[in-house]
Amino acid sequence: MNKSKTIIVSNRLPVKITFNSGQIAYQNSEGGLATGLGSIYRTGNNIWIGWPGAIIEDDMLKEQVSVDLKEKSLFPVFLSDEEINKYYEGFSNETLWPLFHYFPSYARYSEENWESYKAVNQKFADIVLANLKNGDQVWIHDYQLMLVPQMIRSKMQDVSIGFFLHIPFPSFEVFRLLPWRAELIKGVIGADLIGFHTFDDSKYFINSCQRILGLTSINNQLYVNDLPVIVDAFPISIDYVKYNELASNKVLKQHEDNIIRRKGEAKLMISVDRLDYSKGLINRLKAFDQLLSQFPKYKEKVVFVQLVVPSRDTVKQYSELKEEVDRLVSDINARYGTLNWQPIQYFYRSFSIELLSALYKTADIALVTPMRDGMNLVSKEYVASKIDKKGVLVLSEMAGASRELNDAIIINPNDQISYVNALVQALEMPDEEQLRRMTAMQEIVARFNIFHWVKVFMQRLEDAKTLQRRLSVR
């Protein structure tokens, strides 16, 4: 029997190609989307369609990659140098990303990049259509592919289509700045179910549909051609058990011992992010600088380990940010460091999950303080790794995660005075209070985990389709 399947579609596949002395190798991709869905896509005869993370021109190599990936149920979409330049770096990351993260002054509006975005979205849609059968479900992810839902709908009227946006959806006053605002939301409403991380994001989306397209809505239903499209909040999460069990695993012992030996008696503060201006790296370094200047008693008593994974480094704002972070880190280390103590240990590379886990487990404090973030999974990974339930999370109110993890110390990263006070509060928090707050946060992350997220989204997609079918035969 030919069973139905779910087709996951995202710009990036959960694995990326690297070339190791001319040989093809496959590595896990970083970023919330890939790590979030990476835990669950290998069930039934589901497949995942996306870009394998490298530009490949040679046809024989493309063939080899397709064969290798097919074994993992992954289907590559090959992108040329020009497509990466205009669709990925250009429209996705120099227009949509900054605008949706409330950095409108970083956004560039280029007709050429928009044309490429449309063409590449069509390329993805064509590969989906070539693999799509009646009864299948399609689940499209993120801002790089906002036109794909309608491109599929126009060819297969009755197929079930879900769309999930992993980044914030901005308020109408920001979204309206886009010259192609109407086309983008017309693309998204080709889906039957549209998901966001927070209730505010879903409200802003409905508002833009009303104001730009004149659609009507009742509660969380938008009426498109007289049929309801459901718009709702589905906060993404992590594989809690995986992180919790990893932290109990003895193989980490050596990593932990190393970390503990290096920090000595000092408290360990960590941050883990992609290099991105939305992550608040500069504000964080400035707050740490102020902590040391305002409270000299913390000198030699705290070590800040900052892990930064390289990201989108061909985009101007990202390479400029890298230079600024490098400069600030060495400036702080030079001003406060002693022969026995380096205040910031800064790493600019990807880390294995084992090393990340050991860091989460041993860190007294985690700083997750983005200027704006759809959800932020690092905050949840930290909580899941604290098997002794001790540790403090300092979390920005601008991260979607702050709606669920309200036992963290919540800060506004623009408010430097409160930020420094929060660092002091974290450094001084009594064990019982840490225990109480961490227990409450763990209950939430354990319960509303990634499997729950997938289950609820897929169930709602089925319900949305059933409702539409019922209404359309009336």
According to the binding rule CB under 6 A, does residue 195 interact with ligand G6P? Answer: no
344 burial type by CB count under 10 A (0-12 exposed, 13-18 middle, 19+ buried): buried
Considering the rule CB under 6 A, would residue 166 count as an interface residue with ligand G6P? yes
Residue 317, interface with ligand G6P (CB under 6 A)? no
Element containing residue 268 per DSSP (H, E): strand 267-274
Of 83, 142, 201, 289, which lies in the binding site for ligand G6P, with binding defined by CB under 6 A?
142
Alpha-carbon distance of 167 to 399, in angstroms, equals 10
294 Cβ contact list (under 8 Å, min separation 6): 420
**Partner whose footprint covers residue 407, from ligand G6P, ligand ADP, none (CB < 5 to 8 Å by kind):** none
Binding of residue 101 to ligand G6P (CB under 6 A): no
278 contacts 375 by C-beta, under 8 angstroms: no
- Per CB under 6 A, residues contacting ligand ADP are 30-32, 35, 272-274, 307, 309, 350-351, 356, 375-378, 381
Q: Which of ligand G6P, ligand ADP, none binds 377 (CB below 5-8 Å, type-dependent)?
A: ligand ADP
Q: By CB under 6 A, is residue 401 in contact with ligand G6P?
A: no
Report how far residue 11's alpha carbon sits from residue 140's, in angstroms, rounded to the nearest whole number. Answer: 9
Among 7, 9, 13, 31, contact with ligand G6P (rule: CB under 6 A): 31
Residue 283 contacts residue 291 (beta carbons within 8 Å): no
Q: How far is the CB of 28 from ligand ADP (least distance, A)?
A: 8
DSSP code, position 172: H
Report the residue number, 336 or 382, with the smaller CB distance to ligand G6P: 382
Q: How many H-runs (helices) and E-runs (strands) does the chain carry?
A: 18, 17
Please choose which of ligand ADP, ligand G6P, none residue 142 contacts, taking the beta carbon within 5 to 8 angstroms, the exact cut-off set by kind. Answer: ligand G6P
Which residue is closest to ligand G6P by CB?
Answer: 31
Tokens representing 159 are 């197929």
Closer of 84 and 344 to ligand G6P (Cβ): 84
d(Cα 161, Cα 461) in Å, to the nearest integer? 8
Full DSSP string of 19-64: EETTEEEEEE--SHHHHHHHTT--STT-EEEEE-SS----HHHHHH
Q: Does residue number 373 form part of the binding site for ligand G6P (CB under 6 A)?
A: no
Instruction: Check residue 16 for interaction with ligand G6P (CB under 6 A).
Output: no
Nearer to ligand G6P among residue 5 and residue 166 (C-beta): 166
Specify the stretch interacting with ligand G6P by CB under 6 A; choose among 29-37, 321-329, 349-357, 384-392.
29-37
Handedness of CA 170, 171, 177, 178 (dihedral sign): positive
Which of residues 210, 290, 311, 421 is near ligand G6P by CB under 6 A?
A: 311
Q: For ligand G6P, which residue of 13, 33, 292, 344 counts as binding (CB under 6 A)?
A: 33
12 belongs to the binding site for ligand G6P (CB under 6 A): yes
Q: Which is nearer to ligand ADP, 86 or 141 (CB)?
A: 141
Number of residues that bind ligand G6P (CB under 6 A): 11
- The span from the CA of 378 to the CA of 31, in Å, is 10
Tokens representing 27 are 């590595």
CB atoms under 10 Å from CB of 378, counted, come to 29
Min. distance of Cβ 266 from ligand ADP in angstroms? 21
Q: By CB under 6 A, which span of 27-35, 170-178, 204-212, 229-237 interacts with ligand G6P?
A: 27-35
The two structure tokens encoding residue 112? 């050429």
Sheet with 217-218, edge to edge strand ranges: 74-76, 47-51, 6-12, 137-141, 160-164, 193-196, 227-233, 221-224, 217-218
Name the minimum Å distance from CB 36 to ligand ADP: 7
Q: Residue 92: which of 45, 134, 148 has the closest Cα?
A: 148
Among 145, 147, 167, 441, binds ligand G6P (CB under 6 A): 167
Closest distance to ligand ADP from the beta carbon of 39 (Å) = 11
Interface ranges with ligand G6P (CB under 6 A)? 11-12, 31-34, 142, 166-167, 311-312
